[in-house]
Amino acid sequence: MEISDETLQSVPLHLRQTERSYAGALKISLTTVHNLKKRGRLRTHTCCNKPLLTSDHKVARLRWILSHINPITGNEDPTFVDMRNVIHCDEKWFYLNPDKRRFYLLPCEEDPYMAVQSRRFKLKAMFMAIIGKPLYGINGELLHDGKYGIFPFTVQQVAQKASKKRPRGTMETKALQNINREVIREMLLTKVIPAIISKWPEGLPKDVVIQWDNARPHQVPTDDEFVAATTANGFNIQFVFQPAQSPDLNVLDLGLFRSIQSLQYQSFPRDLEELIQKVKQSYDTFNPHVNKYIWVTLQKCMIKILKAEGGNKYKIPHMNKKKLENLGSLPDLVEVQKEDVLEAVEYLNTMFRPANQGTQEDTEDLEVDAD
């Protein structure tokens, strides 16, 4: 049976979510739809929700990316700035077990059984992770893996009641469920900043930039104790906020959290303490080469955002990074086409011109600021 592309496209998207509903809308057999898929006439696509961006969000994303590109000199394409002094920071919930697991079994094997007491109240813990760019020597040797640590939001409490697991009065670990500004400050002061100072690579300037999102608890403290901690031992630790609704501009959200969670799900922790242990082990065993690839992907995503005029309607770019590394051509600082930079600057200028009702001098000031 020959079916034209116009006929296949005439079916609305809400009827194209399964092969059965698609076949029913076309009034053909399910086998015909399956054969069309095998022949390459149809493809599957998984669609997920992305953050909704306003014009202000897009402008902020373009400004952010342009600030991370070296100035244009001559006719050469510019590159991104070296982000060796930047550390990305973010939080994530890690669950004891996923809702679904996939196994490869023999026909004679019994199906695994999973049971939880409550599907609503799941055992989970929030972790704050910090990661930097890995450093390599001239000959390709690893100098620093960029890993500074992952820290759980937990407290030690005395058990009020006896159970089959521990007697009354035993110290037990409890996960904090309310992460507020005071909890974030305590985590930064006691765990994050000391870890950065102790693991910072020798030879690098001590001007450190911590990048995180602008969540409500993310407020930089200004008290004397915190300022003294960020300037101890000759360090100058500053905090910057990435643009709103932009998880694709953070290495942790871009791929590192997913890799750590995939490693953690390969284990079967039984309680909170084992969950914390497995998450830390997954972070420690995370391959520094994969961390290097994610930083390259971050720069590629920035180029996609430039071309999308600050939007997020694009696919995560794939460039066969492992193959390029084996060939010795994987770039550390990705080049940006000069035309893309100039088009982004021109787009920002056109965004500001209609809204500005002042003099010509005011318009020129806005254009310089966009540059």
Query: What mean pLDDT comes out for the span 304-308?
Result: 94
pLDDT at 92: 95
User: Residues spanned by CATH 3.30.420.10 within the chain?
Assistant: 81-104+119-150+179-286
pLDDT at 370: 43
pLDDT at 117: 80
Specify the fold of 81-104+119-150+179-286.
Answer: Nucleotidyltransferase; domain 5 (3.30.420)
Residue 364 has pLDDT above 80, yes or no: no
pLDDT at 2: 83
Residue 91 has pLDDT above 90, yes or no: yes
Q: How confident is the model at residue 351 (pLDDT cuts 50, 70, 90)?
A: confident
pLDDT at 203: 85
Three-state helix/strand/coil letters over the chain: CCCCHHHHHCCCHHHCCCHHHHHHHHCCCHHHHHHHHHCCCCCCCCCCCCCCCCHHHHHHHHHHHHCCECCCCCCCCCEECCCCCEEEEEEEEEECCCCCCCCCCCCCCCCCCCCCCCCCCCCEEEEEEEEECCEECCCCCEEECCEEEEEECEEEEECCCCCCCCCCCCEEEEECCCCCHHHHHHHHHHHHHHHHHHHCCCCCCCEEEEEECCCCCCCCCCCHHHHHHHCHHHCEEEEEECCCCCHHHCHHHHHHHHHHHHHHCCCCCCCHHHHHHHHHHHHHCCCHHHHHHHHHHHHHHHHHHHHCCCCCCCCCCCCCHHHHHHHCCCCCCCECCHHHHHHHHHHHHHHHCCCCCCCHHHHHHHHHHHC
pLDDT in tens, 19-78: 999 999 999 999 999 999 999 999 999 888 999 999 999 999 999 999 999 998 888 899
Q: How confident is the model at residue 354 (pLDDT cuts 50, 70, 90)?
A: low
pLDDT in tens, 181-215: 999 999 999 999 999 999 999 889 999 999 999 99
